[in-house]
Every structure is written in structure tokens, then in C-alpha cells.
Amino acid sequence: MRCLLAIVGPTGVGKSSLGLSLAQRFKGEIINSDSRQIYCHMDIGTAKPSHDEIKTVPHHLFDIIDPDQPYSISQYLKSALDTISRVHDRDKVPVLVGGSGQYVWSVIENWQIPEVAPDPEFRARMVRIAKEQGGEFLYQQLKGIDPAAAQKMLPGNLRRIIRALEIYAKTGEKPSSLQTKKGHDYPVQIIGLTCERERLYERINLRVDRMIESGLVEEVKRLIKMGYIPDLPSMSSLGYRQITGYLGGSLTLKEAVQAIKFETHRFARNQYVWFRLNDTRISWFDTADAVNEKIDYTIDSFLKVQAQRTG
């Protein structure tokens, strides 16, 4: 029986712990769909699973590139689909866990992404323009070229905006017209976790405090010492950017911690652009309720139906 389980929702809601328990319960293997947990050496600020958790069930697509290496959505999609196929071959259930909407949906919907090689010169030129005229300028450029593509990304996501402009520059085609959704020949069950906003903010704040206590400042110092400069896309991630500001003297530690919390709150709100509560493909569960048994029942029912169809 081949299928895919996916755990989605905003950051800090509890996806990782749920994914771990489901993988144990249903003989699964976890596949990462967090765009920051792919980086080596970036553990605390990305809230990676612990070594003990990784030993419990197989984990895939964590720590696969260095922080200064380029990595595209098409590379991720190929790796994820290959991993899913190998998990199926072992008669295990792949459990996709993460909150990076582009990563998640590229796998679930099996996007057909245009193969356009990165152009370092074009990207450097776009970065210069963004520094001179602001990222909003590039976003408006994309909006004029391809409103459908622009609508699917945040104005502040400079990397995605530049990639879309790069595809247009190289092909002369709108990125949205080149990207199609092929789907899979196996079923997908999507579990969504959500909770009341203030409660989610409390969870996020507590997690940030724990990151600081666990050594986030020391982790960023170590990364800089290894030569990973603050201008890298990886180092602009939530937490790393603010701690870099603290180390550079532009923020106090208290200000940096507060900024991490505030920006993570905003990021969590923005994730609902990708994972909508009215999306009927997602079975939503509010973590304020006792949801474990309900989720287990949902997945049990899903797997039984698939077993009957394939039996």
C-alpha cells in the first residue's frame, strides 16, 4: 500500500512532535519539508529534531547542504519524491512534516517545475536593485509580469521573487504558466494543526526563550566563525538574522529576542496563506482539544480504506 501522510500548520504548533508520534504509531519515516532544516550546523534556531528523536524513527532531508550552498525548490522536490519512493519500497509510510508552504505543496501536488539553471550574475544584479530601490520594487515588477505568481508569495520573500523573475528572463514565459500540478497515483492524507492565536504566540515565545537558553547565540557565533556571512539567505532566517544584529551591535540581546518573537508571530500568521483553514483537502485539528485520538482515528480510517482498495 502506497500513500503519503502530511502534517502542516503554523510554526510552533507542534507538527514535529505529532509527526514523530505518528511515525512510531503507523510504521512511518519522517521527511522534512522545512526549508531551513535542510542546512547543516543550523540546529537550535531551526528547531531540528534532537538526536534522540532521530534515533527513534528514520528522518530524511535534514542537514543535506551547507549554509552557503544554493538549493532550489526543484532540487528539494526531486529529493523528496525519490525519498518517498524509497520509503514505499520498504513498505513504510512516508510522513511529510514541516511548515514551508512551497516545499509542502510541491510534494503533495507533485509540481512540474521548469528546469531553469540559476544565473548568478542575474541574481546579483537583482540583489543590487533590491538594495538600491527596495524589495518592493522587484515585487511590483513581478506583479506586472505575472500577477498569479506574485499572488502566491510574500512581498518580503526576495529569494522567491528573484527566482520568478529569473525564470521569466530566461524563458520569456510567465512562471505560473510553466508550473503545473501533476498529482500522484497514490492517496495523500493531510493533517493540519492549529490553535487560538494568543495561545500560539505563547508557544512561540516559550520556544524562542528555550532556543536562547540552549545556545542560539553561541550557534550563530560558531556559524560566523566558520565563514558563513550574515548576507547569506540561510543566515537571514528567523532567529539568525536578529542574533547577527545583536552580535554586530545594532541590537541588545533583549531587543533581538523580542524581534525574533515578533517576526515569528508574523511568520505564523503568513503561513495561513499557504495552509487555509477552509481548504477541504486538510483535516484540521485544534490543539486546544484532546486531538491525539481523533487524529489516530482519522489516519486509521484513511489507511484501512486504502488497504481495502489495494487488497
Given 178, 201, 222, the domain boundary residue is 178
* CATH code (residue 187): 3.40.50.300
Domain housing 169: 120-178
pLDDT in tens, 195-233: 999 999 999 999 999 999 999 999 999 999 999 999 898
Same domain, 151 and 272: no
Phi-psi category of residue 215: left, alpha or beta, with phi > 0 → left and psi -120 to 50 → alpha: left
Q: In a 3-state reduction of DSSP, which class is residue 284?
A: strand
Same domain, 193 and 167: no
Q: How far apart are CA 114 and CA 118, in angstroms?
A: 12
In the structure, what pLDDT confidence band is assigned to residue 1 with cuts at 50, 70 and 90?
A: confident
Same domain, 285 and 158: no
pLDDT at position 126 over 90: yes
Into how many domains does the chain fold?
2
Helix H or strand E encompassing 5: strand 4-8
Q: In a 3-state reduction of DSSP, which class is residue 271?
A: helix
**CB of 139 closer than 8 Å to CB of 154:** no
C-beta neighbour count of 123 within 10 angstroms:
16
pLDDT in tens, 230-258: 989 899 999 999 999 999 999 999 999 99
Provide φ and ψ at 192, rounded to 5°.
-110, 135
* CATH code (residue 156): 1.10.20.140
Q: Name which residue leads in pLDDT, 91 or 155.
A: 91
Same domain, 125 and 105: no
Same domain, 232 and 262: yes
pLDDT in tens, 71-124: 888 899 999 999 999 999 999 999 999 999 999 999 999 998 877 888 889 999
- What's the full length of the chain, in residues? 311
**CB of 197 closer than 8 Å to CB of 265:** no
In the structure, what pLDDT confidence band is assigned to residue 311 with cuts at 50, 70 and 90?
A: low
Same domain, 161 and 39: no
